[in-house]
Structure 1
């Protein structure tokens, strides 16, 4: 299969869904590449919402303590689903996979397990964990200290089993914080529409899983990292840490780095640029 015809699969990050790639896929039409956007385990149409969000009157204590209906979704399940989605799109041939944010950890596990099915791994402002390292450990690093997502979380993830957003909140300051965290350079009306499509719970178990990386597994797959320089969810300094770790572990297969002047959601703010980056890859 030629690079021009290699299919492209898009995997979103936490709280998002396949819907977030609509504009990017539209811009890929001139590249004549088969494309597919999928829902990650526990997200999109596979998400389940906690009952507390629809209770009336609203109970803030329940928001903070109700166990998430997706609490048991872990990295194993997420990677198994992604591999099946890759197999379905490629029908046995390799596929270029672009993952955003937390989707990067799922892509890393899948590429380690079936490197022959991943033609190119593209990380868009994504967690690209090192060998044996959990995704959640990176968010506490000093390089991510001023990120805006953790302050927006509600409840105790140790109790709920999820990183929970209060998407039903009518607090203008809180909603503005969410916009700044995810959609800082997106038109306000589009950002509000995107907030309305998010799912409230991101499974913690998925973020605590680890993958042992090998040279003939993930280390053998060509990879590109797209650094988003205005990102307030995964700060650019942390993105550079991830790249440095990967290159130190597998220097014979260095990361190709591309820079976008964007916040955390370039698929909404500059979809044509994202399409151009991935459209030209094999």
Structure 2
């Protein structure tokens, strides 16, 4: 099993062959649930300062294709919004994978591809690894779902390693019936101070209130249930052949570090000859975006 001891962003030998900076690598960055390419801006700036190319993906129905109904605006009409059909209801994990596979095929013409996923974005990059392992030089999971034994995040959430998460009290953020809508719908524009404080504690306890509100305004309210419930397991003969890195976030209370450790251990057991290269940052679930130089430093030192 890979050691879970902390590695700093400059722990790799500076003379290591074929570092990412030397190989014209493109970092393809995949966001998590209710997010978009915009979340990656701090990391992309730091990668650019290190001389790297990067491409931040907007998964189907995200970014400028996201749905922000009038009933979600201020003043809100929660009753009307609860019944509003979602444009994400028909989006599947395979749709996400297909989009990123197309991007990987195109950028691979220009050099090695390192595929980076955060949170739920891990399920997409695993699917890409299953599909085009020959086109991906390395997979990087940043406190991301890397499923092996269980099929998807929803199944893992029933297990003890997920018990330290702080998401349960946030059920009051939900609007509408997920089974009817086909999406989880969260009211990130709530004015309830207790809910906002609980959400900050769960996802960005290490940020200021201003930073938390800035991040909150990047989020979209809907996320497809089909994406979260699809079979997202990595296959040893495809995904398992790709070099992979896991960046553990020890202060994460959305995807607890105990679950991150389990995901790492399961993957290493599946492919013992190709274990995770593990790095550690002391941040919350999205707090790594507040330390973009450290994240970029880890990526910079990866071999491809």
Taking the aligned partners of 1:276 and 1:55, their CA distance within structure 2 comes to: 40
* 2:263 aligned partner: 242
* 1:221 aligned partner: 242
Which moves more between the two structures, 156-165 or 226-235?
A: 156-165
* 1:141 aligned partner: 159
Give the TM-score, by structure 1 length: 0.92
The counterpart of 1:87, out of the listed 101, 105, 120, is 105
Q: Residue 258 of structure 2: SS of its match in structure 1?
A: helix
The verdict on how the C-alpha distance between 1:68 and 1:141 changes in structure 2, with shifts beyond 3 A counting, is: farther
* 1:128 aligned partner: 146
> 1:191 deviation in Å?
1.2
- Within-5 A mapping of 1:11-30: 11-30=30-49
Contact kept? 2:150, 2:156, Cα under 8 Å: no
> 1:6 deviation in Å?
1.3
Please, which runs of 5 or more residues in structure 1 have no aligned partner? none
* 2:90 aligned partner: 72
Q: Residue 28 of structure 1: SS of its match in structure 2?
A: helix
* 2:216 aligned partner: 195
Taking the aligned partners of 1:41 and 1:24, their CA distance within structure 2 comes to: 22
Contact kept? 2:59, 2:96, Cα under 8 Å: yes
The counterpart of 1:170, out of the listed 172, 184, 191, is 191
> 1:46 deviation in Å?
2.8
Taking the aligned partners of 2:107 and 2:168, their CA distance within structure 1 comes to: 35
* 2:132 aligned partner: 114
Residues 1:40 and 2:59 are matched in the alignment: yes
* Deviations 1:110-141, CA, capped at 9 Å, x for gaps: 11100011111000000001167122212222
Taking the aligned partners of 1:34 and 1:266, their CA distance within structure 2 comes to: 23
- Within-5 A mapping of 1:173-188: 173-188=194-209
* Deviations 1:181-218, CA, capped at 9 Å, x for gaps: 22111222121011011000111100111145433310
Contact kept? 2:149, 2:266, Cα under 8 Å: no
> 1:107 deviation in Å?
0.3
* Deviations 1:56-83, CA, capped at 9 Å, x for gaps: 6x44344445442211111000000111
* 2:5 aligned partner: none
Between the two proteins, the alignment pairs up a number of residues equal to 280
- Between 1 and 2, higher relative CO (CA 8 Å, sep ≥ 6) is seen in 2
Contact kept? 1:93, 1:117, Cα under 8 Å: no
Contact kept? 2:72, 2:78, Cα under 8 Å: no
